[in-house]
């Protein structure tokens, strides 16, 4: 069979598939499905996918579903390492001048975090050097945003989140609210680099292509307030490893912050007695965008 006949058969198959979505009652869904099938078939034809490769791909997705649980989302991880999560954030972030940049949520956010008062400790006993985090929440005009809800979560010094342990501990995560001047403050632990979960299909894919699973050291934030666009972001430690090779492409220059190291003799901002332990501090001022009119 000639190449031109092959191409014609492939094109007719694509047309047939796309025609099956032509009567979709949802205009947006129709647009998405037509584009999806067009690009998917384009990929298959471009790489001339073999049946064995197709079977391997189905096995990969099946395994990703098998290992996904309420606390481990392998498909989010796959989206992250392919840059799809960050690209979606980038597409949807119509950033107003001065607003804090968004980045990926990652697979370790869970609902129902404990409340801590301002100045409280989110670590819950997680191992790591104490770190004082403070800042303000304002709008793009500099007006304080009181009562903003800040969800914060992070790994311990070994690079593991609480949900990666088997004992149902709740550590390194909490929520708090900004004060009447928009200020917030809390104790956590100094972020450490860590590998994304690499014992599943996504990890094996990274190994096969020679990519590192390491994430740059970071601290997660999700900030919500009435009348403002929800912000999901991190801050990253300046000078840390993996800033240029972050496994999920989440680093933005404006989110790299200075984590200042202090010796044990230096007094803490709130007078907390750390028993002579070294500690760190970082300032992160958060600027929220107004919610879109159609929100």
Enumerate the domain spans of the chain.
Answer: 3-49, 78-288
CA distances from 259 to 72, 133, 167 (A): 29, 9, 31
CA distances from 244 to 78, 93, 100, 240, 248 (A): 19, 21, 20, 10, 11
Residues 123-155 pLDDT 10s: 999 999 999 999 999 999 999 999 999 999 999
Is the pLDDT confidence value at 220 over 80? yes
Among the residue ranges 96-105, 195-204, 275-284, the one predicted with the least confidence is 96-105
Residues 172, 163: Cα–Cα separation, whole Å: 10
93-149-152 Cα angle (round to 5): 80
**pLDDT score of 295:** 52
**pLDDT score of 1:** 57
CB atoms within 10 A of CB 148: 23
pLDDT band at 294; cut points 50, 70, 90: low
Instruction: Give the residue-averaged pLDDT of 236-252.
Output: 95
Nearest CA among 78, 91, 62, 53 for reference residue 196: 78
Instruction: Give the residue-averaged pLDDT of 211-215.
Output: 96
- Kindly give, in sequence order, each residue whose CB lies less than 8 Å from that of residue 261, ignoring residues fewer than 6 positions away: 278, 279, 280
Instruction: Give the residue-averaged pLDDT of 22-48.
Output: 96
**Mean pLDDT score across all residues of the chain:** 94
**pLDDT score of 4:** 75
Is the pLDDT confidence value at 16 over 80? yes
Burial track 261-277 (b if 16+ CB lie within 10 A, e otherwise): ebeeeeeeeeeeeeeee
CB atoms within 10 A of CB 69: 9
Is the pLDDT confidence value at 76 over 80? yes
Is the pLDDT confidence value at 3 over 80? no
**pLDDT score of 23:** 94
pLDDT band at 66; cut points 50, 70, 90: very high
Question: Would you tell me which CATH number, out of the four given (2.60.130.10, 2.40.37.10, 3.40.50.720, 1.10.645.10), belongs to the domain 78-288?
Answer: 2.60.130.10
Nearest CA among 198, 179, 189 for reference residue 135: 179
Is the pLDDT confidence value at 163 over 70? yes
**pLDDT score of 93:** 77
Is the pLDDT confidence value at 169 over 60? yes
Is the pLDDT confidence value at 286 over 60? yes
pLDDT band at 208; cut points 50, 70, 90: very high
Residues 86-96 pLDDT 10s: 999 998 876 67
pLDDT band at 259; cut points 50, 70, 90: very high
Instruction: Give the residue-averaged pLDDT of 244-254.
Output: 95
3-state DSSP assignment of residue 66:
helix
In this structure, what token pair is assigned to residue 274? 């750390």
pLDDT band at 280; cut points 50, 70, 90: very high
């Amino acid at each position: 069979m000639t190449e031109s006949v092959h191409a014609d058969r492939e094109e007719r198959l694509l047309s047939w598939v796309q025609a099956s979505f032509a009567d979709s009652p949802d205009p947006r869904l129709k647009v998405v499905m037509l584009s999806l099938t067009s690009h998917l078939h384009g990929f298959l034809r471009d790489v001339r996918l073999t049946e064995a490769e197709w079977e391997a791909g189905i096995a990969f997705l099946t395994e990703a579903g098998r290992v996904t649980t309420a606390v481990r989302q392998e498909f989010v991880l796959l989206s992250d390492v392919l840059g799809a999560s960050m690209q979606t954030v980038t597409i949807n972030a119509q950033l107003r001048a001065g607003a804090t940049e968004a980045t990926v949520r990652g697979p370790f956010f869970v609902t129902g975090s404990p409340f801590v008062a301002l100045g409280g400790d989110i670590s819950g006993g997680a191992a790591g050097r104490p770190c004082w985090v403070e800042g303000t929440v304002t709008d793009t005009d500099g007006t304080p945003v009181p009562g903003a809800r800040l969800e914060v979560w992070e790994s311990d010094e070994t690079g593991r989140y609480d949900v990666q342990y088997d004992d149902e501990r709740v550590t390194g995560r909490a929520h708090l609210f900004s004060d009447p001047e928009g200020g917030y403050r809390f104790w956590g632990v100094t972020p450490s680099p860590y590998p994304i979960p690499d014992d599943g299909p996504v990890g094996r894919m990274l190994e096969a292509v020679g990519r590192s699973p390491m994430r740059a050291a970071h601290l997660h934030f999700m900030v919500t307030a009435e009348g403002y666009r929800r912000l999901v972001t991190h801050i990253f430690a300046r000078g840390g490893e993996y800033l240029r090779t972050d496994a999920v492409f989440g680093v933005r220059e404006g989110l790299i912050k200075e984590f200042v190291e202090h010796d044990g003799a230096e007094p803490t901002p709130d007078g907390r007695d750390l028993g002579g332990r070294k500690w760190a501090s970082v300032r992160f001022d958060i600027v929220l965008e107004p919610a879109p009119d159609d929100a």
